[in-house]
Structures are given as structure tokens and as C-alpha cells.
Amino acid sequence: DTGVSQNPRHKITKRGQNVTFRCDPISEHNRLYWYRQTLGQGPEFLTYFQNEAQLEKSRLLSDRFSAERPKGSFSTLEIQRTEQGDSAMYLCASSRLSGTSLSEQFFGPGTRLTVL
């Protein structure tokens, strides 16, 4: 499968624990995005990378959230000291930026986080 993959697909954790999610984008894609989606809402932007550089992080995002893309390939999203409000579907998407023009984002299947 050459699409975007995410692991794990489901994560149940207790409040206060740290969790880490992984995203493997389509190999030739230089852009990687993280979103959070709750029921009845659209994907909410969290952060994005161009190659290994993190270009923007949502101002609404708590300092408990951090993301990396160390070699410009896979990315990890870590949530420290999880709260019940963090329960959501975490989506990763990748795209190929051509010049300065945005293009189609290909989404992964998501990681569903449940914080008890």
C-alpha cells in the first residue's frame, strides 16, 4: 500500500499519560499535516511540515502537543499529560508542494484517541 499510513489506529489511555502517534506519508510528498477531528466537525489544523521543517503550529494548540519530522519522512505527534478533551481522531495528510502551489492532500486512516 503506497498511501498514507498511521499507527496505532486506536489508542486508549488514562488521563495524565503521554501518547505518541506515527504517520508515514506518501514517499515523494514534501508536505505533511496533522489535524484533529471530532464528531460533526471538519479537520482542525494542528501543524505542518515542509520536509523536516515545522512551518506552523496552531496558536490554539497547547504546549502539551509536539510534533517532529526528523528526516523529512515519517512524523510523530506526541501529547503529554493527556486530558479527556484530547479525545478525538488525529489525522495525518501529505501532499506534494509544487513551487508555492498547494495541491491535493492524501489523508491517512487516522488514530482514534480515547482518554479515560
* Residues engaged in binding other proteins (CB under 8 A): 33, 35, 40-45, 48, 55-56, 91, 101-105, 107-110
What is the Cα gyration radius of the chain?
A: 14
Whichever of 2 and 14 has its CB closer to other proteins, that residue is 2
Return the number of the residue (72 or 109) whose C-beta is nearest other proteins: 109
C-alpha cell at 69: 519530522
- Least separation, in Å, of the C-beta of 58 and other proteins? 9
Q: How far is the CB of 81 from other proteins (least distance, A)?
A: 27
Amino acid at 71: K
CB-CB contact of 9 with 111 (8 Å): yes
Least Å distance, CB 69 to other proteins, is 15
Q: How far is CA 78 from CA 15, 81, 99, 104, in A?
A: 14, 10, 30, 26
